[in-house]
Amino acid sequence: MTHICKLAAAVALALPAMAVAQEPWKGEAELGLLVTTGNSEETNLKARLGVVHETETWRNIGELRSAYTEAEDETTAERYRLEAETNYKFSENQFWFLRGSWENDRFSGYDYRTSATTGYGHRVWELGDKSFLDLSAGAGYRYNRLDEPDDDGNRNEEEAIARLAAQLDFELSENALFRQKLSTEIGLDENNVITESETSVQASVIGNLSMKLAYLVTHVSDAPPDSESTDTETSLSLLYGF
């Protein structure tokens, strides 16, 4: 099952690059300050790149995030995260999704975490081009590698998971957007639940340049030994849309 998880994740990450370029890619580059609590309590430099490609039948989404802090020649925070998702729109408001993710957080107690999921999504509400509510549910597999062996001498955590997710985008004005993203991955074997909530507001400053304020909470119900269960991130950053 580990190889299946890795293969599914690789497929999900590769699919956006395979899309037929009927429409241009859109994206945003983000750079700013990040204040964290939990396993790392630091002020970090945050960088992010997000891209979207959408046609009549396909929607492809990719995102790369990183955060890094060094003090007195010592690394105090270091995190990298890669996500990709492809949606096949088989009706006006319904879609099938395939999603893969990989995260390396040096101070989380994990060497890395990966998951691959697939399932059904529904755009239950839409208003104009920028306001919508998407709900999705699916299943897949998760593979995590611990920094240190557990009490049984194991460093690998792998299990089938169920995934529930929602995203609300709401256009506050012509130049401002509110976004709420919520997801939970529920372990079906070890019952480890990883939940993430991200709330953000962004507003145009001039041209393609925007300001963004965001708050992210991640909770791991069964965190590794000597690790915090809840991490938070508060960030203020500049975005450049392209």
What is the count of structural domains for the chain? 1
Residue 3: strand, helix, or coil? helix
CA-to-CA dists, residue 10 to 156, 159, 229, 233, angstroms: 19, 18, 28, 28
Cα torsion 203, 205, 208, 213: sign: negative
| Structural domain for 203, as ranges | 2-241
Residue-level pLDDT, tens digit, the chain, 242 residues: 444 454 455 544 555 444 444 568 899 999 999 998 988 787 888 999 999 999 999 999 999 999 887 766 777 778 899 999 999 999 999 999 999 999 998 878 889 999 999 999 999 999 988 999 999 999 999 999 988 877 777 888 899 999 999 999 999 999 999 999 999 999 998 889 999 999 999 999 999 999 999 999 999 999 888 889 999 999 999 999 99
* pTM: predicted TM-score of the whole model, two decimal places: 0.86
First to last CA, the chain: 39
Strand partners, 162: 139, 186
Residue 14: strand, helix, or coil? helix
Contact 235, 213 (CB under 8 A): yes
Contact 85, 74 (CB under 8 A): no
Domain with residue 58: its CATH number is 2.40.160.40
Q: Position 116: which residue type?
A: A
Which string of DSSP letters, residue by residue, matches 96-157?
A: EEEEEEEEEETTSSEEEEEEEEEEEEEEEEEETTTEEEEEEEEEEEEEEEESS--TTS--EE
In this predicted structure, what is the pLDDT of residue 3? 46
* Residue 92 dihedral angles phi and psi, to the nearest 5°: -60, -40
In this predicted structure, what is the pLDDT of residue 126? 95
